[in-house]
Amino acid sequence: MNDPIIRFDNVVKRFGDHTVLDELNFDIRKGEKVTIIGPSGSGKSTVLRILMTLEGIEGGVVHVGGEPLWHEHGPVGLVPASQAHLHRMRGQLGMVFQQFNLFPHMTVLRNITEAPVKVLGLGKAEARDRAEELLELVGLSDHAQKYPHQLSGGQQQRVGIARALAMRPNILLFDEPTSALDPELVGEVLNVIGQLSEEHDLTMLLVTHEMRFAREISDRILFFDQGRIVEEGSPAQLFTSPQRERTREFLGSELDRVLAV
């Protein structure tokens, strides 16, 4: 039980000549709520995208639920993962995207039920019941038959959260879930995420610029810069008495940004 549910072991990620993640190491325990903060281009989102299998890695090993994600156990050591392995591993994870990425030609209900029916093999009625529960959870019960373009950004993102939850992931990844929203719509999405953070079993990994919110819901904060973790600790530690100069600098600039708005 004490084994980490996510482990990055010397993970290297490059885009061409640019090294995004530079021998990155960190662990996340089951049920932990962890927020990654850091300047843009620091590799925060890349961590989530690697976990969701949207980006491969160039070095190291990523473990999810005690198993290598991008590798399989071969006859002699680890070999690159097959599509079948990736398919099986993906079942543990769900992702909420910055731009929501809803399917625009499907109703809200269909957005949520499509994968449970086609991937998990749920019956249509069961999937619909489950979707309706999730829509209630995110406060959108009346919108099941609408199309995404008929909803506000905040509502679309709440559908995005319901859609990810419908696949019953153990780990939920949030990639800047409020960055594309008008300021007055941020609160409704954060409320839903805050509510989810009460769930003991759900592991959450969040990339955000909402510092106050990160402080409220996180068990731990990781501060990223240039593909490495510069500093990590509890929200109280990191926000009130950051040890590194680089962390202080970043938190100061974020404060300026918020005050400037």
The rounded distance, in Å, linking the Cα atoms of 29 and 45 is: 19
Q: Tokens 């300026």 label which residue?
A: 256
The verdict on 164 binding other proteins (CB under 8 A) reads yes
Binding mask 130-149 for other proteins (x = CB under 8 A): -----------------xxx
The rounded distance, in Å, linking the Cα atoms of 123 and 89 is: 23
| Radius of gyration of the chain from its Cα atoms, rounded to whole angstroms | 19
Q: Which 27-66 positions form the footprint of other proteins (CB under 8 A)?
A: 52-54
Q: Tokens 């961590």 label which residue?
A: 47
**Which residue, 166 or 230, is less far from other proteins as judged by CB?**
166
Tell me which residue of 193, 180, 133 sits closest to 152, measured CA to CA: 180
The rounded distance, in Å, linking the Cα atoms of 150 and 251 is: 37
The verdict on 95 binding other proteins (CB under 8 A) reads yes
**Which residue, 167 or 222, is less far from other proteins as judged by CB?**
167
DSSP assignment of 154-210, as one string?
HHHHHHHHHHHHTT--SEEEEESTTTTS-HHHHHHHHHHHHHHTT-SS-EEEEE-S-
**Which residue, 33 or 90, is less far from other proteins as judged by CB?**
90
Smallest distance, other proteins to C-beta of residue 118, A? 6
Smallest distance, other proteins to C-beta of residue 99, A? 6
Residue 52, CB-side half-sphere exposure with 13 Å CA sphere: 18
Smallest distance, other proteins to C-beta of residue 211, A? 26
CA distances (Å), origin 37, targets 3, 135, 208: 24, 29, 6
Smallest distance, other proteins to C-beta of residue 167, A? 6
CA distances (Å), origin 76, targets 58, 71, 145, 157, 214: 19, 12, 52, 44, 42
The verdict on 119 binding other proteins (CB under 8 A) reads yes
Smallest distance, other proteins to C-beta of residue 169, A? 10
Q: Which of 19, 107, 191, 195 binds other proteins (CB under 8 A)?
A: 107
Q: Which of 8, 97, 239, 250 binds other proteins (CB under 8 A)?
A: 97
**Which residue, 80 or 252, is less far from other proteins as judged by CB?**
80
* Max CA distance (Å), the chain: 58
Q: Which of 14, 29, 110, 209 binds other proteins (CB under 8 A)?
A: 110
The verdict on 238 binding other proteins (CB under 8 A) reads no
Q: In what order do the strands lie in the sheet with 18-28?
A: 18-28, 6-15, 59-64, 67-68
Q: Which of 44, 71, 85, 90 binds other proteins (CB under 8 A)?
A: 90
The total number of residues written for the chain in this structure:
261
Using CB under 8 A, which of the segments 14-22, 70-78, 104-112, 181-189 binds other proteins?
104-112
Q: Give the residues lining the site for other proteins (CB under 8 A).
A: 52-54, 87, 90-91, 93-95, 97, 99, 101-107, 110, 114-115, 118-119, 147-149, 163-164, 167
